[in-house]
Amino acid sequence: MKRKKIFFSVFFILVTAFCFAQDPQIDSLKLVLSKQKDDSFKVNTLLALGKSYLESKPDEAIKYSVDAKNLAEKIKYPKGIANALKNKGIANYIQAKYLEAIDPWLESFKVCEAMGDKSGEANLLSNMGAAYFAQGDDTKALEFYLKSLKISEEIGDKFRTATVLSNIGSVYYNKPETHDKAIEYYLKSLPLAEELKDEDIIGTVTANIGEIYSYKKDYATALGYFNRSIKVSENTLQETYGLNDIGKVYTKQKQFALAIQYHQKALEIARKFDAQLEMAESILGIADSYYEQGNFKSALASYKQAEAIARKSGLNKELKDAYGGTALAYAKLSDYSNAFKYQTLFSDMKDTLNDIANYKKIATSQFNFDIQKKQSQIDLLTKDKALQDLDLQRQKFAKNALTIGLVLIFIIAFILLRTYLNKIRVNKLLDKQNAEIQSLLLNILPSEVATELQRDGQATPRYYESVSVLFTDFKSFTKFSQSYSAQELVAELNDCFMAFDDIIDKYGLEKIKTIGDSYMCAGGIPSGGDQHYINIVRAGIEIQEYIRIKNQKRIESGREQWDLRIGVHTGPVVAGVVGKKKYAYDIWGGTVNIASRMESNGEPGQVNVSAATYELIKDHFKCAYRGKIYAKNIGEIDMYFVENEIISATILRPLGSTIDEPKAIEQKLS
C-alpha cells in the first residue's frame, strides 16, 4: 500500500490592486517593487516574489518573506504578517526542515487568532499536522488535524473539512490495527468531496479504501473502490494506480489473464506520459502475474524490462523488487548461478533501502528531541514555580542529547562511509555531463550569453548602438531546387554555409541564423569592435570570391552556376535570447530589415551596402553609387556597390582579392 496522499495548503491566495495572477514574471515584480512606497501593496508584492521562489529557491523565498514581515509590522498590517510567516514556514517545509516550519506557522496562527481569521487558523493547523506526519509523529499529527477539523466544521468550510478528514484517515492507514478507523474517516471525507466534485480527493480516498480492503482480502469490495478511483482519473496519469491495483487483486484471485490485461493498460497510459515510475510498477505487476501463473520465462523477461527502467531512472524500490523477482524466476528455471547473482543484488539493494529508512528514523528522533527541547525552554520561561523540577529535566535532556548525539555520529559515520565511493562516481558523471552541456551551449550561443544563462537561468536582451548586419541569398534558388533531389540540395547548401562559417569566424563576426537559402551574420555583437563594418565588408567580398571559384568548378563539370547576392547595413539593434525552450541568439530592429533590403536589391557577385555603411567604410573601400531604394517607415536610402579595398593612397585591392591567397580559397572547395 502506497498512496496515503496528504493534502497540504502550500500556496496562499494573494489579492492586490495589481492583480498578480498566474505566477507573474519575477522581473516584472521586482520592477513594480522598486517603484512602490511602503504600504500594503508593497507587502503583497514582496509576498508574491517570495511565492515565485518557493519551488526553485526556497532560501530566496524566506528572504522576501522576512522583508514582507518587517514591512507589515512597520505599517501595522496583520494580514501581511500572517501570510509572511506562513510563507516562511512553507519554504522550510519544502526543504524538509519541519521544525523550522512549525515555529513561523505557530506565530502566524497567533496573528490569525487575533484577527479572528478562522479559515487561516484551520489552514495553519492542518499544515502543522502535515509537518508532524512527515516526521512520523502520528500522535501530534492527529492532534493538529483534529483541531483543524473542528474549526473547519464550525465555519462550514467543506473543502478544508474534506481534506482534513482524508488526512486523518491517512494517519490511521499507517497501521493494520487501525485500518477500520481509517475507513471511517475516509467515508466521512468522500461525500463532501463528491459534493464539491473534487476528483483529486475522490480518487485518492477511494484508492486508499480499496487498498485497505485488498489487504483484508475482501477483493470484491476492493475492486468496487478501485473502479471508482479509475472513473474520476480517466485519461490522467493517476489512472495507472487504480489499474495496477485492480491487476494485483486479480493476480491474488488467480485470474491471470485479467490481471495482465489491467497491468498492460496501465503500462500504455504510463508510456503515453513517459512516466518511468509508473511504467516500472506496471511491468512489475505483469511480471508478478506471469510468475504466479507459472510462466517463468515470460516473468523473467518482464522483470528484466522493469530492471532496465528502474536502474535508468534511479528507482531503488522498484529495482529491488525487479532483482528479487528475477532471482526467483531464475531459481524456478533451475539457473542457480544467475539466481544467486540476482539474490545478492536484491540483498544489497535491500540493505541500501534499510540504510535510508534508518537515517529517516534518526532524523525523526532528532526532530522529536528538538521539539521536546523547545517545549522545555518555553516551560523555563513561563513556569517560575517549577524551576527546580525544570532544572532536573534540563539535565536529563542534556544527558539524552549526549547519548543521542553519540548514536547519531556513529550511525551517520557508518552511512557516509558506505556511500562515499558511490558519491565520487556520481560526481564524476555530473562533471562530465556539465562539460557536455557547456560545450553544447557554446556551440549555439555566444559565450557571454551562455554564461549568463547558466548563472541566472535567463539572458537579458541588450541594445547595441552600432552593429553591421550581412545577408546573403542565392538568386533563383527555387528554380535550382527543382533540379536537385532534397539530399543534393541540402548538401550543396551545407558546403556553402560551412565555408561562410569559416570566413566570418576569421573576421570575428557572429553567425545569427540560416533561413532556407539565406545566411545572416553580424559584427559588433555580443562584444563590440571599432572595425566591425570593415570586417563585415571584407567577409562579404571573400564570400563572393568563394562563390566565384566554386561556380568556375561547376561550369567546368557541366553544372549550372549559383549566383549570390549580398547586402550590408550598419545601425542599432537589440540582441539576445527570448523564450525558455530551444535557445537561439537573434537580433531585432530596423537595421535587420534594411540589411535584408540591401541584399534583395543587390546584384549577383556584388556586395551592396547602404549609405550608413558607406559613410563608415569610404576611406577603406572604393565604392560605386547605384541609386536609391524606398524603405517603409524610413524613406529613401542610397546604395553602393563595393569595388575595391584601398590598401594605401595609391594601391587598390580589386574586388575578389582578399587576405586569403587563391590557393587557400580553393582548398575550402576541395
| pLDDT at site 377 | 45
Judged against a pLDDT cut of 50, whether residue 8 lies above it is answered with: yes
pLDDT bin (cut points 50, 70, 90) of residue 479 is: confident
What would the mean pLDDT of 372-398 be, rounded to a whole number? 57
Q: What percent of the chain has pLDDT over 70?
A: 84
Judged against a pLDDT cut of 90, whether residue 449 lies above it is answered with: no
Of the listed ranges 260-269, 285-294, 380-389, the least confidently predicted one is 380-389
Judged against a pLDDT cut of 50, whether residue 480 lies above it is answered with: yes
pLDDT tens-digit series, residues 228-284? 999 998 889 889 999 999 999 999 999 999 999 999 999 999 999 999 999 999 999
What is the C-alpha separation between 166 and 179, in angstroms, rounded?
13
| pLDDT at site 590 | 92
SS3 content of the chain, % helix, strand, coil (to 5): 70, 10, 20
Cell numbers found for residue 151: 474549526
Judged against a pLDDT cut of 50, whether residue 514 lies above it is answered with: yes
What is the C-alpha separation between 457 and 440, in angstroms, rounded?
16
| pLDDT at site 134 | 81
* Structure-model confidence comparison of residues 165 and 662, the more confident one: 165
The highest-confidence range among 238-252, 365-379, 444-458, 638-652, by mean pLDDT, is 238-252
Q: Could you tell me if residue 659 is inside a domain?
A: yes
| Number of C-beta neighbours around residue 340 at 10 A | 13
What is the C-alpha separation between 492 and 64, in angstroms, rounded?
57
Of the listed ranges 40-54, 391-405, 469-483, the least confidently predicted one is 391-405
Region class of 19: left (phi > 0), else alpha (psi between -120 and 50), else beta: left
* Structure-model confidence comparison of residues 366 and 533, the more confident one: 533
What would the mean pLDDT of 187-204 be, rounded to a whole number? 93
What is the C-alpha separation between 87 and 3, in angstroms, rounded?
27
Supply φ then ψ for residue 644, to 5 degrees.
-145, 155
**Of the candidates 73, 97, 100, 68, which has an alpha carbon nearest to the alpha carbon of residue 83?**
68
In which residue are the cell numbers 551574420 written? 521
Q: What percent of the chain has pLDDT over 90?
A: 56
| pLDDT at site 285 | 96
| pLDDT at site 392 | 66
What is the C-alpha separation between 142 and 149, in angstroms, rounded?
10
What would the mean pLDDT of 563-588 be, rounded to a whole number? 89
| pLDDT at site 311 | 92
Alpha-carbon distance values, 117 to 109, 143, 610 (Å): 9, 20, 69
Cell numbers found for residue 206: 477511494
| pLDDT at site 386 | 53
Q: Are 281 and 243 in contact (CB under 8 A)?
A: no
What would the mean pLDDT of 535-557 be, rounded to a whole number? 95
Instruction: Give me the DSSP letters along 227-294.
Output: HHHHHHTTTSTTHHHHHHHHHHHHHHTT-HHHHHHHHHHHHHHHHHTT-HHHHHHHHHHHHHHHHHHT
| pLDDT at site 25 | 62
pLDDT tens-digit series, residues 73-89? 999 999 999 999 999 99
Of the listed ranges 194-203, 314-323, 353-362, the least confidently predicted one is 353-362
* Structure-model confidence comparison of residues 32 and 462, the more confident one: 462
Q: Which DSSP category does 565 fall into?
A: E
| pLDDT at site 632 | 75
What would the mean pLDDT of 548-577 be, rounded to a whole number? 93
Judged against a pLDDT cut of 70, whether residue 438 lies above it is answered with: no
| CA distance between the termini of the chain | 68
Cα angle 77, 78, 79; round to 5: 95
Judged against a pLDDT cut of 90, whether residue 609 lies above it is answered with: yes
Q: Could you tell me if residue 503 is inside a domain?
A: yes
Judged against a pLDDT cut of 90, whether residue 448 lies above it is answered with: no
Q: Could you tell me if residue 613 is inside a domain?
A: yes
User: What CATH number does residue 472 fall under?
Assistant: 3.30.70.1230
Q: Could you tell me if residue 258 is inside a domain?
A: no
What is the C-alpha separation between 189 and 668, in angstroms, rounded?
75
Q: Could you tell me if residue 122 is inside a domain?
A: no
What is the C-alpha separation between 306 and 297, in angstroms, rounded?
14
| pLDDT at site 131 | 87
Judged against a pLDDT cut of 70, whether residue 469 lies above it is answered with: yes
Of the listed ranges 96-100, 160-164, 645-649, the least confidently predicted one is 645-649
Q: Could you tell me if residue 646 is inside a domain?
A: yes
Would you call the peptide bond into 176 cis, given omega within 30 degrees of 0 as the criterion? no
| Number of C-beta neighbours around residue 646 at 10 A | 15
pLDDT bin (cut points 50, 70, 90) of residue 478 is: confident
- Exposed (0-12), middle (13-18) or buried (19+): which is 234, by Cβ within 10 Å? exposed
Residue range(s) defining the domain that contains residue 505: 460-669
| Number of C-beta neighbours around residue 458 at 10 A | 15
> Can you name the residues that pair with 625 across neighbouring β-strands?
640
652-654 and 635-646 beta bridge pairing = antiparallel
| pLDDT at site 493 | 93
pLDDT tens-digit series, residues 615-638? 999 999 999 999 999 877 778 899
| pLDDT at site 581 | 74
| pLDDT at site 477 | 85
Q: Could you tell me if residue 583 is inside a domain?
A: yes
| pLDDT at site 584 | 82
Q: Could you tell me if residue 493 is inside a domain?
A: yes
* Structure-model confidence comparison of residues 332 and 388, the more confident one: 332
Number of structural domains in the chain: 1
pLDDT bin (cut points 50, 70, 90) of residue 10 is: very low
pLDDT bin (cut points 50, 70, 90) of residue 174 is: confident
Q: For the chain, what is the mean pLDDT?
A: 84
Stated pTM of the model: 0.49
Judged against a pLDDT cut of 70, whether residue 376 lies above it is answered with: no
